[in-house]
Structure 1
Amino acid sequence: MAATADGLPPDGAVDVDAPDAGLRAALSAARSGAWEPAAELLARTRVDRDWDRRGQYSAGLAELALHHTGWFDEWRRVPITYVPVPSHLASPPRRPPRCGK
């Protein structure tokens, strides 16, 4: 690829939205068929309440799932109880509805 007249690299040579190390590792693992790093990455954003990063990670993982479906299909088969919810984020127990007079 030749540089532009202004001395800048050509379009496509620079990735301005490069994923951070955590997402890169999860994407790499997913390409190999492992869904667990993606689950752990998203669980960490939930615990940290980092909703912006969670959205970015979800978008990156969704993009990969469009083209490499095996890891995502395996993840979908896992019972929801696999991903633990920290006790400080868990909902309080609900009381059954009262059958009143």
Structure 2
Amino acid sequence: MPQVLNRNKNASTVINGIAFTPTKNGMLSEEITQDQADYFLKIPTYVAVKAPAAKAPATPPSDPAAAAAVEAEREAAERANAAAQAAAQEKQQA
């Protein structure tokens, strides 16, 4: 299921009944339906986040290094997706 990223880092943790989690790049939604994603994507501060090919395995709390690696990978994917979205928007506006 899709997720969206609100690039407004000061946004609420709940928007239209959808939970959002703070990240370095903004507020990341929980998994939502495509219809919900389409609604959010009409708003300029929102970008689509590509779902990972496979869910990352649950990391036991006793392994902070693995948890940090999983979070770093997720944030890198968010940055790449945000950059791709920004480039697409710039190209569209040109």
Scaled by the length of structure 1, the TM-score of the pair is: 0.24
Higher relative contact order (CA 8 A, sep 6+): 2
Structure with the greater alpha carbon radius of gyration: 1
* TM-score, normalised with respect to structure 2: 0.25
Q: Report the structure, 1 or 2, having the larger helix content.
A: 1
Q: Which has the higher strand share?
A: 2
